[in-house]
A and B are shown apart, each in its own frame.
Chain A
Amino acid sequence: MKNLFLIACVLMALPGLCRTLVVGKGQTYSTIREAVAAAQDRDTILVKKGTYYINNIVIIKSIYLIGENYPLLHGADKYEIFTVSGKDITIKGFHFTNSGYSAMNDFASVKIIDASNIIFENNRVTNAYFGVHIANSHHFTIRSNYFNGLTKSEQTTGNGIHLWKCNNALIENNEIHGHRDGIYFEFVTQSLIQKNFSEGNIRYGLHFMFSNDNWYVENTFKNNGAGVAVMYSKQVHMLLNHFDSNWGAAAYGLLLKEINDSKIDSNTFYQNTVGIYMEGTNRINVTNNVFKANGWAAKVQASCMDNTFFHNNFLSNTFDVGTNGTLVLNTFNNNYWDKYEGYDLNKDGFGDVAYHPVSMYSTIVENSPNTLMLLRSFMVSLLDKAERAIPSLTPENLRDDQPLMKGLKLKEKK
């Protein structure tokens, strides 16, 4: 009897513990602000379809904010829409639009500061300066959102997903267009970025700064102003990504600057001006990647050390490898180069003659870019042939001693 009473008490108390507050026309609350003010921890605020003009609602309670049929949260081109600071907060199913722009502050549609256990899911963010701006937070998920930025100049557009000083983040299944950097990481550790699609951003599809121990897996970066940049970081794992059509004078599929002890595996580099550009990077393993139809498959500057290119396919690139010096401290081994012209007498699958991936002409172009005018001319192929026979200008040590005779069967993502 005593137990029954207890259970009854609990059952009666439960609705009080997590209520659902409905916001909308003709509902209990007409504005989200009122509902948030009235809500207690673990309450759900259900927002009905409609347009809500919002001047920065600060959410510090552990609540679930759920939108029904993508209610439109409008920032009137002046304000931030939500500022989230707390723990256990979920925001789901909203359409954020027209949040403000400021040259002084990093205005974002949703700003998450000093927070943890946040879930930001299934939202649409359009015409935002910054899409989601996350600072000093940990253990949060940004999943299945759609971002479309302002697509103006680099100065007047913010980043799609901006992380500053965070850890244990999961960025998954997002689609980002028209921002400055699609995804931006600065001082972020132990995070996973996966299955995102970043296209048509003004600067980088993904931008890493000082962010160690992160993984990015199965993302697609396409047609961004300058590709993907990973700078000043350690232990970054880049797997199964697709770098596509990053064209331009300073565009790279993947730009690596001051990166150490990282791994680049099973990626596809397709039709980029430069597939991978390495500067001051050390101890990186580049394995099982496909480099196809790039201008330069890889540019490895002389400031790089102890990097290994192993088991990659190099297919129909204009230049396989470019470099700016003669000092070579990197190894290229057992790759397949479609330009290889050697033979395999003992039939062990490895070519008997070393392959020099740096052609004479790519060195010339590196020194004097205007000579690109002579690409594919008879003169140039003569020079290349002569240089291949007696290397003098190209770095002699940059060579694959055991090039594969047949291409590796690597999965090419289209």
Chain B
Amino acid sequence: MLKLSKYVLYDIVRSKVIIAYTLFLMAVSFSLFQMEDNSGKAVLSLLNIVLIVVPLISMVFSTIHYYNSYEFIELMLSQPVSRTKILLSEYLGTALSLSSSFLIGVGIPVVLFYFNSTGISLVLTGCLLTFIFTSLAFFTSVQSRDKARGIGAALMLWFYFALIYDGLVLLVLFTFSDYPLEKLTLLLSSLNPVDLGRIFIMLKMDISALMGYTGAMYKDFFGSGTGALYTIGIMLLWMITPLLLAVRSFNRKDL
């Protein structure tokens, strides 16, 4: 399995897209830290990169990669290797390459300019989001044979998690604003890995605002050790569940 992952990794690195991605992240992070005299503000912009760009690239890149290596997968299937192993090694190869380019592109500047708990949680969240969205991408691309459809589904999912979901949350919170919604918001934030990651970082960044009103409750929950464990646990669930579903349908699929 590791051997297979290694080949996938080589393949990805050779395609140069991943190198471009690394360089892009690095250029953006370095220039943000250089431009802003207040590194807190730079981290704020980086937060947007982590929450928007990382999921998008992870999704699109993984989908395209999956369809492009379809022939390789078919070739591997003719060998005595189990389907689960093949898909998992494909996943591992893709996710590892994406996350390592994130670690290089964002991790290094953060360590250089903003090495504290906020910075660390930013990098951690970025890595987790890479893994999660790669796994989601695998889930969608396994479902259909058609490349255009797969990419379309991936984009739709990204759009949903990055934007639509928050809109829906806003709508729900406004509609039911007469009711006590504290518990519900906790639940709602767990249903979207992007939101969960954002709150995780935000608690380190905007503590003064969060301490007011509902914020105190967030702080109590997410800010505690169990809260951090909960966040990471839920994010791992978000990573594992789509992957398992992908493996299941890949195993059952008539290729």
A and B physically associate: yes
Q: Determine how close the nearest CB of chain B comes to the CB of A293; give it in whole angstroms.
A: 6
Question: Which chain A positions have C-beta within 8 A of B199?
Answer: 373
What is the chain A residue whose CB lies nearest that of B211? Answer: A247
What is the chain A residue whose CB lies nearest that of B178? Answer: A368
Of A248, A272, A273, A315, most buried by chain B (CB within 10 Å of CB) is A273
Q: Judging by beta carbons under 8 Å apart, are A315 and B38 in contact?
A: yes
Q: Judging by beta carbons under 8 Å apart, are A372 and B209 in contact?
A: yes
Identify A374's interface contact among B48, B170, B211, CB under 8 A: B170
A3 within 8 A of B: no
A312 within 8 A of B: no
Q: Judging by beta carbons under 8 Å apart, are B41 and A316 in contact?
A: yes
Q: Determine how close the nearest CB of chain B comes to the CB of A385; give it in whole angstroms.
A: 12
A229 to B50, CA, bound (A): 40
A319 to B40, CA, bound (A): 15
Q: Judging by beta carbons under 8 Å apart, are B38 and A338 in contact?
A: yes
Q: Judging by beta carbons under 8 Å apart, are B169 and A316 in contact?
A: no
Q: Judging by beta carbons under 8 Å apart, are B185 and A380 in contact?
A: no
B47 within 8 A of A: yes
Identify B206's interface contact among A272, A295, A367, CB under 8 A: A295
Given known pairs A368-B174, A370-B181, the reply for A379 and B166 (CB within 8 Å) is: yes
B182 within 8 A of A: yes
B188 within 8 A of A: yes
Q: Determine how close the nearest CB of chain A comes to the CB of B97; give it in whole angstroms.
A: 26
Q: Judging by beta carbons under 8 Å apart, are A272 and B173 in contact?
A: no
Question: Which chain B positions have C-beta within 8 A of A272?
Answer: 208
Band of interface residues on B: 35 or more
B84 within 8 A of A: no
Q: Judging by beta carbons under 8 Å apart, are B198 and A273 in contact?
A: no
A370 to B173, CA, bound (A): 7
What is the chain B residue whose CB lies nearest that of A293? Answer: B208
Q: Judging by beta carbons under 8 Å apart, are B166 and A318 in contact?
A: no
A69 within 8 A of B: no
Q: Judging by beta carbons under 8 Å apart, are B211 and A369 in contact?
A: no
Given known pairs A316-B38, A378-B48, the reply for A251 and B211 (CB within 8 Å) is: yes
Q: Judging by beta carbons under 8 Å apart, are B166 and A273 in contact?
A: no
Question: Which chain A positions have C-beta within 8 A of B213?
Answer: 249, 369, 372
A272 to B210, CA, bound (A): 10
Query: 14 A-B residue contacts at CB 8 Å?
Result: A248-B212, A249-B215, A272-B208, A273-B215, A295-B215, A315-B38, A316-B38, A372-B210, A372-B212, A373-B189, A375-B206, A376-B206, A378-B51, A381-B48
A residues apposed to B, CB below 8 Å: 247-249, 251, 271-274, 293-296, 315-316, 318-319, 338, 364, 367-382
B residues apposed to A, CB below 8 Å: 38, 40-41, 44, 47-48, 51-52, 162-163, 166-167, 169-170, 173-174, 177, 181-182, 185, 188-189, 194-195, 198-199, 202, 205-216, 218
Excluding A272-B208, A273-B209, A378-B51, 10 further A-B contacts by CB distance (< 8 Å) are A249-B211, A251-B211, A293-B208, A295-B211, A364-B170, A369-B213, A372-B213, A375-B209, A376-B44, A379-B166
